[in-house]
Structure formats: structure tokens, C-alpha cells
Chain A
Amino acid sequence: MADISQQDIDAIFPKVTATIADALGCDEGDMKRDSSLINDLGAESIDFLDLVFRLERAFKIKIPRGKIVEDSRGELSESEFEQKGLVTERGLAQLKEFLSEVPADRFRTPLKVAEIPRLFTPETFCKLVIRAQKAAAPAG
């Protein structure tokens, strides 16, 4: 997976935040780069489904359901990543790398797998879009 540059993120940031504002019914002005969609903007699980759906339409991309959580495991198997609903030590290291946009002090331990979406910020969704665009682009 090719690295994602800050420039790539900046290029689509306004369109992604506008889409988030539409999905959550919140004000774009209330949104910071590192806002937690759940903790700061009041998003619920149905909003994430809605948001992914809207991003697919806005960017004409395909984002398989559950893509963020699946991608966040990286090369780790499910049992390497989590045990009994808690993210393992290796899992946490992998997650911090994958969600590099999230301030480090927000990764509490032990971290429940179900709590991972609390970490997601607008930039998390920029990266999701960029990965989907790159996956769709012809190799070469």
C-alpha cells in the first residue's frame, strides 16, 4: 500500500468535511482536523454507514463495508489483533500506525475493539477515500 501524503489529504479535506457535515447534520465550522466524530461531533453507528455511503457517491468510489476496521488490522490475523474483544499489544502498535492522524494520547489501554471507531477523525475518512481511489486506479 503506497503511503498517503499530507498533500493528498489536504486536496480532498474540504469535500470530505462537507460530506461529514451533511451526514451528521453538524456545522463544518465545528469540525477540526482531529475532532473525534463520535466524542466531539455526536456521530452514531448509523452515521458511519451513512457517511461511507455518501463518500462513495461524492467521490464515485467503492468502499467495502467494514473496510476501516479490516484495513486497520494490516497484516495481522484477527487473533493477533484482538483477544476477547480487546486490542492486543501488537494490534495497538499496528492501529497507531494505521491511524497516525489520531493524537497518541487517545489510544487508551486496554482498548476495546468496539471502541476503535471513537478514534476516527475527519482525516481518517480522507485516508479511507484515498485508499479506495488508489485501489481503483489501474496499476502502473
Chain B
Amino acid sequence: MNGRFAAFSFVDRILAHDPAATVRGRYAIPARATRFPASLAAEAVGQLAAWAAMSALDFRVRPVAGLAGETRFVRAFGPGDTLELEVTMESATATDVAYHGRALCAGEPVLTLEHALGPMLPVGDLDDPDAMRADFETLRRAGAPAARFRGVAAPALTLDTVETGKRARGSLVIPTEAPYFADHFPRKPVFPATLLMDALGMLATAAAGDDARVTGMQDVKVRAFMPPGETLAVSVELDDRDGELAGRVVAKMNGKPVATARVRLAKDAR
């Protein structure tokens, strides 16, 4: 199985893939994974949606990250937990896929994703279509080999200025080499948007103060591929519109916005 499923694949089994019904899958987070940020559960839901959409369209096109209207991190989870994945496909065409879904742990939702939409690209630009067909069959039948994912490194985020309670700026270096580039994608290595969201969440909490945590992401929009070795200028502006603590995050590459989102934050009562 040539190393596939090892680096950045978060569906072990596909239990139901009829796009007209609820698409179901499963991912067991390896107990020895060093770091599994919550945004990777959104990645898992997105990957399950991608499998369903690709099989419905005979592996001619595959979706990539585009928009995620509303992501909520409902409950903490991590290495050793098994995620049950559910996706409802709203549409899957040759140009884009729209869906919503969630991840559950022991029957309880840990993450919900609403209004997700991904533009479709020709599969061949990103991966070998025949290999993907074979992978899909593996996931539908035996399942992927016992997960070999080891976790992801903490993002290389440098903070330049922090005005606590107001804003923060810094830079994020996309590594030139990382295990996840082998899977994402085999023919076109790009920085996964869910890892960018993890980093932007950290930036927002750094601005909000140590006791803040990310509870969700709104209106995530990814405009361009982020290749290995690039440095992104990242910033957050906090506000408490409607009494809710949140921050507008922007990542720029060569001066142009490549991703934007609104990070929702909460401070735990002590």
C-alpha cells in the first residue's frame, strides 16, 4: 500500500457512501499520535465528503478546501479516540461540492460543520486517479491499515506584536518538508487549510489571553494553494460584536489574502 493513508488521511473506513443518503465513515486517532488539533476532525469530515463526491463523479474531479460557513468545536477529543464521521451531501457537481457534517465520539458530537463548499479540480492534477479508486475500494472493504499517523508538529508561528484583548500579528512558515505533503497532495504538495486554521486559532487565542480557547470558526474562505516553503503574514483583530468574543483572522501570501475567517473564542469561567 505504498505509504498511502500514513501522512494526512483521516478516514479509515467508509461505511456508507451513497450521496443521496447520510455518508458515514470512521477514523481512529492513533493513541500514540503526538498532536491532533481539533481542526483535523473538520479535515476528516471534509475528506469523507470528498470520497463520496469523487466516487459519485467517477474520480474525474476532487474537491479542495474552499468555504466553511460554520465550524463548531463542541467537545474536546484527542489521540486514542475514535471519530464517527457523518456527512450530508447537498450537491456534488463537476464544479463544486456542498455538504454539512459532523464528527462524534462515543455517540456525542465533538465537531459540527455547516455550509461547507469546495471547488472541484481535475483529480489528475492532484493525485493518480487509479490509485484513488483503489484506495476508495480499500476504505469501503477492509479499511485502511492500522493508522500510522504520528501527529502534526505545532505550527511554526512567530508573533511579532500582541496587544492583548485587541490584536496580534505574526508570521507562519510553511515547512519545505513535512510528512503530510505526501498525502496532500501526492502530485501537488500544498499546506492543508485545516492546519492553517489551527495556526490562526492559536494566533487568536494569543491575542485574547491565555484563558481563551477557540470554540468555532465562521466564514472560512481559502483563496489559493499555499506551497511548501512559503511564509504567510498572519493577523487577527478581536471584537466582541453581539457580546461574543471573536476575531477576524487573515493570512496573506506575497501581500495577497490567501485565507480569511472569523474565530470564535470563549473564556472559561474559573
Contacts and interface: CB of A to CB of B under 8 A. Distances in A.
A25 B219 CA distance: 11
B264 interface: no
A46 B119 contact: yes
Contacts, number: 33
A45 B115 contact: no
Interface in B110-136: 115, 117, 119
A53 interface: yes
A49 interface: yes
B42 to A, nearest CB: 17
A46 B68 CA distance: 12
Contact of A57 (B96, B115, B222, B257): B115
Interface residues of B, number: 16
Nearest to B66: A46
Given A25-B260, A45-B119, A50 B221 contact: yes
Contacts of A53: 67, 69, 98, 115, 117
A49 B91 CA distance: 13
A65 B95 contact: yes
Interface in B77-120: 91, 93, 95-96, 98, 115, 117, 119
Nearest to B93: A65
Interface residues of A, number: 11
Nearest to B248: A25
Q: Identify whether the interface residues of A are mostly helix, strand, loop, or mixed.
A: helix
A110 interface: no
B223 interface: yes
Contact of B221 (A46, A57, A65, A66): A46
A57 B117 CA distance: 14
Contacts of A66: 93, 95
B238 to A, nearest CB: 17
A97 B257 CA distance: 36
A28 interface: no
A8 interface: no
Interface in A28-75: 44-46, 49-50, 53, 57, 64-66
Q: Which 4 A-B pairs have the closest CB atoms?
A: A50-B67, A46-B223, A65-B93, A46-B66
Given A49-B67, A53-B98, 9 more contacts: A25-B257, A46-B223, A49-B66, A50-B221, A53-B69, A57-B115, A65-B91, A65-B93, A65-B96
6 contacts: A25-B257, A44-B223, A49-B66, A53-B117, A57-B115, A65-B98
